Amino acid sequence: MAISASMVKELRDRTGLGMMECKRALTEAGGDIEVAIEDLRKSSGMKAAKKAGRTAAEGTVTIKLADDNSVGVLLEVNSETDFVARDENFLDFVGTVIDAVYETKNTNIESLMSGTLETQREALVQKIGENISVRRATIVEGKNIDGYVHSNGKIAVLVNLSAGDSVLAKDVAMHVAAVNPQVAKPEDMDAALLEKERAIYVAQAEDSGKPAEIIEKMVEGRVRKFLAESSLVEQPFVKDPDLKVGQLLKNSSADITSFYRYEVGEGIEKEEVDFAAEVAAQVKQSS
């Protein structure tokens, strides 16, 4: 029986396994999807597929730098639990992935994981029994790039400066990790977000009953405060609050070109599990 692309897609959707593995299973099952699923459930490959539906929101973030600080790579790899994120096998895999990103300059995760790295990921899933996913990667190129990884591996930052040395760049990266600015400079703030904030300030000020000209001054003052608090160069330097980051950079004739900050699991909707309800449901099913 001819195995159509739609049949392969259906089996992929139902199992989460790779295209070639699904096609091979369908061929061996004579095109019967249910038989193919049953065969896959008996194989080690299906074990990995079962894990694919679980939320991987733990894990680690890390960086890799060129010896001359001209290139930096930032990477996030996720696991289901923090325990696995500290496992030596997991960390070895993370190192292999970031080396591949650095060598190939490929940050397209689907493309990056299309070959041997995906095979290694599946083998790791089999070994540790948790879903593992390579989530995102960023490459930065410039004159003075350095970074900082928090000791727990949950926050990592790359900073690209126009001048200065690695000590300065690392200090700025440490500041970004701790304070989490939204943008590098006030003028970089998204216009739509700024207008949204302004509208909130206007509504708050109008409730005060003050004259229009006073309200306008109040709003502009709050907008300036918002921009200062959200912009890297306007923030007090975390290691010396009397000095703004912008002035710290100027003291070394440097400017911030860009920064990137990864925090493990940010933006991932974590599944809340009610274990008591889960156990009760299982007991009910078995009775």
Q: Is the pTM of this model over 0.95?
A: no
* CATH topology assigned to domain 58-178+256-263: Tetrahydropterin Synthase; Chain A (3.30.479)
Q: Taking the alpha carbons of 230, 231, 235, 239 in that order, is the dihedral positive or negative?
A: positive
Q: Rounded to whole angstroms, what are the CA distances from 21 to 16, 54, 130, 141?
A: 10, 21, 20, 38
Are the CB atoms for 264 and 76 separated by under 8 Å?
A: yes
Q: Rounded to whole angstroms, what are the CA distances from 78 to 93, 130, 274?
A: 11, 10, 22
Q: Taking the alpha carbons of 95, 99, 105, 106 in that order, is the dihedral positive or negative?
A: negative
Q: If DSSP codes are grouped into helix, strand and coil, which group holds residue 69? A: coil
Token code pair at residue 270: 């974590």
What are the domain boundaries of the chain?
5-51, 58-178+256-263, 191-229
Token code pair at residue 222: 């709050």
pLDDT at position 50: 45
**DSSP element (H, E) containing 221:** helix 212-230
Q: Distance (Å, rounded) from C-alpha 73 to C-alpha 105? A: 9
User: Yes or no: is domain 5-51 CATH 1.10.8.10?
Assistant: yes
pLDDT at position 218: 85
Torsions phi, psi of 199, nearest 5?
-60, -40
> CA nearest 159: which of 241, 74, 224?
74
The total of other beta-carbon atoms located within 10 Å of residue 258's CB is 14
User: Yes or no: is domain 191-229 CATH 1.10.8?
Assistant: no
> CA nearest 178: which of 246, 120, 261?
261
The total of other beta-carbon atoms located within 10 Å of residue 267's CB is 8
Q: Distance (Å, rounded) from C-alpha 264 to C-alpha 87? A: 16
Q: Distance (Å, rounded) from C-alpha 53 to C-alpha 22? A: 17
Q: Distance (Å, rounded) from C-alpha 174 to C-alpha 147? A: 8
Residues with Cβ < 8 Å from 96, sequence gap 6 or more?
Answer: 117, 120
Q: Distance (Å, rounded) from C-alpha 49 to C-alpha 44? A: 9
Residues with Cβ < 8 Å from 33, sequence gap 6 or more?
Answer: 7, 10, 11, 14, 26
Walking along the chain (287 residues) 10 residues at a time, the average pLDDT comes out as 84 75 88 82 54 69 96 95 90 96 94 90 86 93 95 92 94 95 93 85 76 82 89 95 96 96 83 52 53
pLDDT at position 53: 52
Is 56 buried (19+), middle (13-18) or exposed (0-12) by CB count in 10 A?
buried
